[in-house]
Each structure stands twice: as C-alpha cells, then as structure tokens.
Amino acid sequence: MKVVLQNLTKIYPSQDKGPDVTAVNNFNFEIPDGKLIGLLGPSGCGKSTTLNLISGLETPTSGKIFFGDDDVTDLPPEHRGVGLVFQSYALYPHMTVLQNILFPLENRKGKERLSKEEMNAKALEAAHLVQIEQYLKRKPAQLSGGQQQRVAIARALVKRPRVLLLDEPLSNLDARLRLQTREEIRRIQRETGITTVFVTHDQEEAMSISDQIVVMKDGIIQQIDAPQTVYDHPVNLFVAKFLGTPPINVFSGEVKDHMLYIGEDAVLKTDLEDRKVIVGIRPEGFILDENGPLKCAKIGVQVMGRDTSVVSSHPASLNDTVVSIISAENRVEGETVRFALKPFKTVLFADDTEEALDCWLSD
Ligand code: ADP
Ligand code: MG
C-alpha cells in the first residue's frame, strides 16, 4: 500500500504564552508500496507527530494523507488499517501472550468478526512470524524486553495492517537485543511486504534498516534518499553531521584558482570559482601519506582491531579534533601526520547557507 503525504502540516497552538509549534511543516512525500522508510531526526523534530498523523491519532492542521488512492485524512484510526508499535510495549499485563495477540481480532464487530478458529490461526501465524510461539501461555512480565516487543509487533501484524508504523521500537532494548531485533523487523517487513514507517533518532539504526531515509529537522524535511546516498551526498551540513560515527570532520576552507585550501594546505582540485566554503571529510576519507597535503598535529592513535583511529588537530578544523580511520597496518609515527584526501569522501558546503555545493573534486 502506497502512502502519500500531501502538504501535510501540524501546528500545535501555543501553550503558556509561548509560540505555536509547527511540528510538521508542509510534508510532501510518497512511501512506495512495500518499502520500509526510516524517519530520522533529533528529539523534538516531529517524527512522532508525523507517525501519529499517518495513524490518525493526530489530526493535521492542513494537508492530506492517502493510502493508495484512498483519502484517509478524515478517517478515524481504527478504520485506517494501521498496525502500531511504540517504544513502550504497552501489552496488557494480566493477559497471556496469546490473548494479547488475539485482542485486536476479538475487538472486531459485525461482519468483520472471525470465528474462534480463524482468530487462533491468525494469532499463531503472527506469533510464528516473530518467533514467539513457545511463549504463548506466558504473561508479559515473564518475558524479556526483546520478547515483549516481538509480542507487540505480532499484535500489530495480526490484523494484516495496510501500513505498519513503528515509533522508536528498539529504544528500550539493550545494545545486543537492539541489533538482533532490528534485523528481525527487517526480515518480517520483507516477508510480509507491508509498507512500513520506522521512526528513530539513531542514524545507524535508520541506515541499516531502511530502503529510504527521511531526514527531518525542526519539522522540516531535509533530505529523502537511500541510506548510502544520504551518507555520501548530504544536501546540507546538518544532514552530513547527523549521519556517521565517528562524525564527519568539518573545516573552514577556501577555493582559490580552482584549488581547495584547508588553512594553508592546498588539498584538492575543484571546478568551483573563488569563494569561502565549509569542508566536510568523512573519517574514512583520509589516506596516510608522508607527502600528503593536509598537515595535522597528532594527538593520539587508537588501534581498534581492523582499523586505526588517528586523532589529531588542524588550525582550520571547526571541531576540537580531527578523527581519521585508517587501516591498522599503517604505523603512525612522528608529531605531524600528513594526509591525502579521497575526493568522494569530501563534501563542500556554502559557508553562509551550509547547503552542499554542486562541484567536482579531484586529487
Ligand atoms: P519527536 O518524535 O521527533 O521527538 P514530536 O513529534 O514528539 O518529536 O514533537 C515535535 C514537536 O511538537 C516538539 O516541539 C514537541 O514539543 C511538540 N509537541 C508534540 N506533541 C505536542 C502536543 N500534544 N502539544 C503541543 N506540542 C506538542
Ligand atoms: Mg518521538
């Protein structure tokens, strides 16, 4: 089921004489049928509001929402056919796992009502999909956090929703379970082919699970692209900084006679005319090279298995330190480390608007 957001806006009126909050500002995008979209942005940027507009829990101030060709803007949540999963599992503590999963089916009325056998078959199918069949008789308190979240997902899936909406579903899980459960969600989404919106503030989570990422800031969409495209070709400095660990290194730079300078160092050729720029370099964009143009003062070296992380400083760096990741086979000697730069790991931004500049770079 394709989902279309058209000029969608949600303004919360001011409280305590503060200003109105535009939580969702004129969203226009289409979620293709059967895809998993990651809604990514810092806390308070409007992710949950967007999800709640799609589910019908919130009413838009203006704009429309379509599921396929159906305009669902005025449809109450229970008639939209959405499955919802939240950060808190919100299971009924006094019911067994099976009863929790059955609950949405038992609530159906009239023509939609299924026989006991049909309901049981559907509940077992959902339990099988999330691999919790062996716990059907337990109460939620007798399950781990990861298992409880699977039950919540099964409960969301049992009605075969047209759209599955997940709001930070992994945030309450510890690091290992988070990894495992996100793989599970990916598998379940692929198996069912249900169009899914996955909300997270964790860029790595969004990168690993999504077909497409929607990056948001202050209620405004910054970029919609495949994860690797967002990482390699961020549209602005905010997006560049929000994706990647360790984060992108940022320098003030200048173009003179088609040469890009970082401080005194002439690092790459470019087709840009003379101007001031902001230079973003991914940690993996540095090549250790004794004749390399970028001269940094070494602060420390950390070997982390396969890779070595070199921490250094540079007078034109806009961060406290420059963090580069190089292969662990390299030895980093001396006080000064010199780097050549990979042009495709370097992005230039306008010094005033911080928008990415369309240009080529080469060494
Ligand atoms: P996120 O999920 O990205 O953390 P939210 O969608 O929850 O962000 O919130 C977006 C903005 O809208 C925030 O500034 C938040 O304070 C505000 N907001 C959310 N819900 C309400 C509400 N019911 N009333 C007033 N303001 C709200
Ligand atoms: Mg939220």
pLDDT in tens, the chain (363 residues): 999 999 999 999 988 888 999 999 999 999 999 999 999 999 999 999 999 999 999 999 999 999 999 999 999 999 999 999 998 888 999 999 999 999 999 988 888 889 999 999 999 999 999 899 999 999 999 999 889 999 999 999 998 999 999 999 998 888 888 898 999 999 999 999 999 999 999 999 999 999 999 999 999 999 999 999 999 999 999 999 999 999 999 999 999 999 999 999 999 999 999 999 999 999 999 999 999 999 999 999 998 888 999 999 999 999 999 999 998 888 888 899 999 999 999 999 999 999 999 999 999
- Asked if the bond preceding 246 is cis, omega within 30° of 0, the reply is yes
CA dihedral 152, 157, 161, 162 (to 10 degrees): 110
- Give, using CA atoms, the residue closest to atom 6 of ligand 1: 46
Tally the C-alpha atoms within 13 A of residue 288's C-alpha that lie toward its C-beta: 22
- Give, using CA atoms, the residue closest to atom 21 of ligand 1: 12
Give the orientation angle of helix 175-192 with respect to helix 116-129, to 10 degrees. Answer: 130
Token reading at 165:
């909406």
Instruction: Give the per-residue pLDDT at 72.
Output: 97
Quote the ligand 2 centre to 48 CA distance (angstroms).
4
Kindly list the structural domains of the chain, giving each domain's residue range(s) and its CATH number in brackets, ordered by start: 3-241 (3.40.50.300), 247-362 (no CATH)
Instruction: Measure the CA angle with vertex 21, ends 19 and 25; round to 5°.
Output: 135
pTM for the whole structure: 0.93
Instruction: Measure the CA angle with vertex 121, ends 193 and 185; round to 5°.
Output: 30
- Give, using CA atoms, the residue closest to atom 15 of ligand 1: 44
Q: Is 205 helix (H, G, I), strand (E, B) or coil?
A: helix
CA dihedral 141, 147, 151, 157 (to 10 degrees): 170
| Ligand 1 contact via 46 beta carbon (within 6 Å) | yes
| Ligand 1 contact via 49 beta carbon (within 6 Å) | yes
The radius of gyration computed from the CA coordinates of the chain, to the nearest angstrom, equals 25
Of 277, 212, 236, the closest CA to residue 3 belongs to 212
Closest approach atom of ligand 1 to CA 168? 2
| Ligand 1 contact via 47 beta carbon (within 6 Å) | yes
Q: Identify any residues that bridge with 263 across adjacent strands, giving them in sequence order.
A: none
CA dihedral 31, 32, 33, 34 (to 10 degrees): -80
CB neighbours of residue 200 within 10 Å: 24
Give CA–CA dist 112/198, Å, rounded.
28
Residue written as token pair 């401080």: 263
Question: What ligand is nearest to the CA atom of residue 46?
Answer: 1
Of 294, 302, 288, 285, the closest CA to residue 342 belongs to 285
- Give, using CA atoms, the residue closest to atom 27 of ligand 1: 12
Quote the ligand 1 centre to 192 CA distance (angstroms).
31
- Give, using CA atoms, the residue closest to atom 23 of ligand 1: 12
- Give, using CA atoms, the residue closest to atom 10 of ligand 1: 46
- Inter-residue contact 335 to 326 (CB < 8 Å): no
Quote the ligand 1 centre to 299 CA distance (angstroms).
41
Quote the ligand 1 centre to 20 CA distance (angstroms).
11
Measured CA to CA in angstroms, residue 11 lies from 19, 21, 240, 333 at distances of 10, 6, 28, 56
